Structure 1
Amino acid sequence: MDELQKGALVRAVGQAIALRRAAAGLSQEKVAEALGISREAVSRMETGVAVPTVVRLAELAEIFECGIDELLTEASNRRIDQARNILDLLEELSDDKREMLMAVIRQLAGGLST
């Protein structure tokens, strides 16, 4: 993994943290308080300026009530991780909405593959 890919991964993990925080209805201040760090430190993680440790990821996962793997796989550019994310999104939909979305995905994939 080159430096460009590493930077992209760190930013993607930060974005996953920010999305989970927002979905949990928490402010950066609340997360910072729960972690015992500054709001600026949370901001640096979310923007990819700072790389969270494995321990910090575990603490964040506990706060957001998700798995550590979810914070990482949501940020991954590996096809298998992306497929799992799509599966998670599809599971929340009714059969008719899922089929409609699959039709759109097929159309997009067909147009992008040429």
Structure 2
Amino acid sequence: MPKTEVERLAAGVSRAIAKRRAACELTQEQVAERLGIGVEAVSRIERGVVLPTVVRLGELADIFECNIADLLTEVSSRATDQANHIARLLSKLGSADRAMVVEIIEKLTARLGDLDR
């Protein structure tokens, strides 16, 4: 994998981890304590300086009560992963709000598709 791709992946995973930590209302100190590592190590992961191992991703997923895939698919450039991420976001909404979001996405894709021509 080219270095720039690894850097992009690390940056995306770091954002997903930071977002999940904040959503769980945990501090970096609390996450570090649960992982048995220093706060600086958690900070380096969240800044994308260090790409966590699969084992560490599993530990983080346990702390955040999500799947490892959730931490990875949020940053994936694969259309199916992005669709799954959108589906998870939509599942948190009521039917009227889901319909509104789908309508917005339809309009955006039509508009952006026209721009690509």
Q: With the length of structure 2 as denominator, give the TM-score of the two structures.
A: 0.92
Deviation per residue, 1:12-32 (Å, 9 max, x gap): 001111011001110001000
Report % sequence identity: 52
Match of 1:96 in 2: 96
Match of 1:43 in 2: 43
Q: Give matches, 1:74-89, under 5 Å.
A: 74-89=74-89
Q: Give matches, 1:23-62, under 5 Å.
A: 23-62=23-62
Q: Distance in 2 between matches of 1:43 and 1:97?
A: 35
Match of 2:67 in 1: 67
* 1:45 maps to amino acid: I
Runs (5+) with no aligned partner, structure 2: none
Q: With the length of structure 1 as denominator, give the TM-score of the two structures.
A: 0.94
State the SS of the aligned residue for 1:25: coil
Q: Distance in 1 between matches of 2:15 and 2:73?
A: 12
Q: Distance in 2 between matches of 1:6 and 1:78?
A: 15
* 1:86 maps to amino acid: I
Runs (5+) with no aligned partner, structure 1: none
How many correspondences in the alignment?
114
Q: Distance in 2 between matches of 1:45 and 1:88?
A: 24
Deviation per residue, 1:55-81 (Å, 9 max, x gap): 111111111111111111112111110
Match of 1:4 in 2: 4
Q: Distance in 2 between matches of 1:30 and 1:15?
A: 18
Match of 2:105 in 1: 105
Deviation per residue, 1:20-45 (Å, 9 max, x gap): 10011100010001111111110100
Match of 1:14 in 2: 14
* 2:48 maps to amino acid: G
Q: RMSD of the alignment, in Å? A: 1.0
